[in-house]
Each structure stands twice: as structure tokens, then as C-alpha cells.
Amino acid sequence: MNPLSVKLRRLSLNNPILVASGTFGYAREMTAYVDFPALGGIIPKTVTPAPRAGNPPPRTVETASGMLNSIGLDNDGFDQFVAEKLPYLASLGTAVIVNIAAKTNDEFLRMAQVLNAAEGVAAVELNISCPNVSGGVDFGTNPELAADVVRTVCSAGPLPVIAKLTPNVTSVIPIAQAVADAGADAVSLINTFQGMAIDWKKRQPVLGNVLGGLSGPAIKPLALRIVWQVAQAVDIPIIGIGGIQCLDDVMEFLVAGASAVQIGTANFYNPQLSSQLVTELTDVLQQEGVSQISELVGTLTLPDRGN
């Protein structure tokens, strides 16, 4: 048995290292840097039913230990993705998890039906949590709406379904529980935190859309907290996301309760990181004296506070 293999209910991966949607393009851009078959999977840029121009520039700004982005789901639309991008992605020798976003259940259903009939798709990730567009994020802030989307997409066919959830709520736990009850195979935790940057001399926001999503190392402690809290409360596999830039970061997420992770912002400044992490994980197994990476998942031990 492959010691790095991961099982997320109906989804099997060769290892727990994935690349996050929106940070890896449609993979062609990364050909010179990444050994695609070595990865656990690729999650390409979010696609929507119709083409989107995205938000007005500036769309990104560097922050302390991170970045704000307000891309606005700029993409050429679902039909073009299926016709032009998906065949290439399916040829890369690793799991392809297609990330989709929409404003209605019917739009989600139509895309899911097409993907279930397409070649080379391993799973569907539902972007119900993007903080930079109107409409789509509403699904992810309401347990009932989130569950309805998951049920709808699950009804489209046998492909595994992953719900990518927002941290911009009082508690992620009720939403994670709702999508788990609705049939999701895993949850991706977390999408970006809503934030803003200001040029005080001009008295203006830096981003053209005013608000953006904060990612990078700055959010890792918050992401770890949410992964751990959901792992304690909800019986569903977790994919951890947020500020991962080295092996220790990966292991922190696994020990907190994530079965896999997604590399996001780090792809912009170290595009070889994902491939490197797969190699380094093998060494960890030997060091820890375990035969399977899953043996390390959720092994966080809390301090004994006595009576």
C-alpha cells in the first residue's frame, strides 16, 4: 500500500499534497516547475457557468506575511473550460478536482452533470465561499443553503463532492456539519479572510473592489484553529488550507485533524514547493516510525490541566 495514500470517503489520492484553486492557473503555467504526477491532485482556477471579467484593478496587494486578492473569479466560462482546459488537465497523471462556483442550484447542477460525464475528473470542489463576488458566498454562510447546494451536486452523479467553506462566519462548525449531513465527502478549510488595504495618503482603498481575501502565512494560526475545531465536532474528512509554506506547516495541519492540504499563496513565490513537500513527507514517516500518513492525522494531544 502506498504509505502516502489518502482516502477522503469516495475520493482516493496518491498523497495529501494538493494545489489550491486560484493559485495554480490551469496547470500549463506551472509546467516548468512542478512534477504533476507526483502531486496528490490539482485544483484549477474556479470556473463559473458564464465567462466573468472579474473585478476592477488593482486586484492584488502584498500585506504583512500575506496578500490580499480581489480577482473576482475572472474566467472564460464553464463550456470553454470543459472543451479547452479539461483535456489537458486530465492528461497530467494526477487527480483533477474541478472547482466550480455559481449563483443558483440549477447552475451548480448543470455543471456537475457535465463533469460527471466528462473524462478525467476525480472530484468536484464547490466554491461557496469566495469573499470577492456577490451571490456565491451567501451559500457558504448559511448552513441550509450550503447543504442544499451539496445535495444538488451529489444528485448529479457519483463524483465525490468537496465543499470549500468560508471563515467569515461566527462558527464554521454548523456549516461543516450541514454539508457533511448533505453528503459531502470532505470540506476544504479554509477560504480567505475578508480584509482591506488603504493608501492613507490618497484616502483611498488599494484594491479596486475595496475588499479582498487575505491569504498566506498571516492566516495559518486561524486556519489551524478552524481545522482543529471542525475535526473535533464533525465526522468528515478535512483538507487544510492557509499559509502553508514548509513541511512543518503541513504536519501541523495533519496533526490538527486534516487528512490532506492545499498549497495556495506559496505557489506564487515558490512554485516548486508542492513537489518538494511530497518528497519530504516520505522522510517524515520514517522519522516518526509509522507506515501510513493517516496514522498521524488528528494526533494532537492537549495539555493535562489536572483538576
What's the distance, CA 273 to chain centroid?
16
Active site residues: 130
pLDDT digits (tens, 9 = 90+) for 49-58: 999 999 999 9
Q: Is the per-residue pLDDT at 135 higher than 60? A: no
Q: Is the per-residue pLDDT at 121 higher than 80? A: yes
Q: Three-state SS string across 201-218, please?
A: CCCEECCCCCEEEEECHH
The more confidently predicted of residues 136 and 8 is 8
The confidence score (pLDDT) of residue 225 equals: 98
Percent of the chain with pLDDT over 70: 98
Three-state secondary-structure class, residue 82: helix
pLDDT digits (tens, 9 = 90+) for 284-307: 999 999 999 999 999 999 998 775
6-296 CATH pick, 2.60.40.10, 1.10.3720.10, 3.30.1330.10, 3.20.20.70 = 3.20.20.70
Q: Is the per-residue pLDDT at 133 higher than 90? A: no
The set of cell numbers assigned to 94 is 494526477
The confidence score (pLDDT) of residue 98 equals: 98
In angstroms, the CA 130 to CA 97 distance is: 17
pTM over 0.75: yes
Please report which confidence band the pLDDT of residue 205 belongs to, taking 50, 70 and 90 as the band edges. very high
Three-state secondary-structure class, residue 62: strand
What are residue 48's phi and psi, to 5 degrees?
-120, 165
Domain residue ranges in the chain: 6-296
The more confidently predicted of residues 282 and 133 is 282
Shortest CA distance to 57 belongs to which of 212, 257, 193? 212
Q: What is the mean pLDDT of the chain?
A: 96
In angstroms, the CA 36 to CA 5 distance is: 16
The more confidently predicted of residues 135 and 251 is 251
Angle at 275 between CA 273 and CA 279, to 5 degrees: 110
Percent of the chain with pLDDT over 90: 95
The 10 Å Cβ neighbour count of residue 257 is: 22
Q: Is the per-residue pLDDT at 281 higher than 90? A: yes
What are residue 256's phi and psi, to 5 degrees?
-70, -20
The set of cell numbers assigned to 238 is 478535512
- DSSP state letter for 226: H
pLDDT digits (tens, 9 = 90+) for 15-54: 999 999 999 999 999 999 999 999 999 999 999 999 999 9
Task: Kindly tell me the burial class for residue 113, based on how many C-beta atoms sit within 10 Å of its own C-beta (0-12, 13-18, 19 or more).
Answer: middle
Q: Is the per-residue pLDDT at 136 higher than 60? A: no
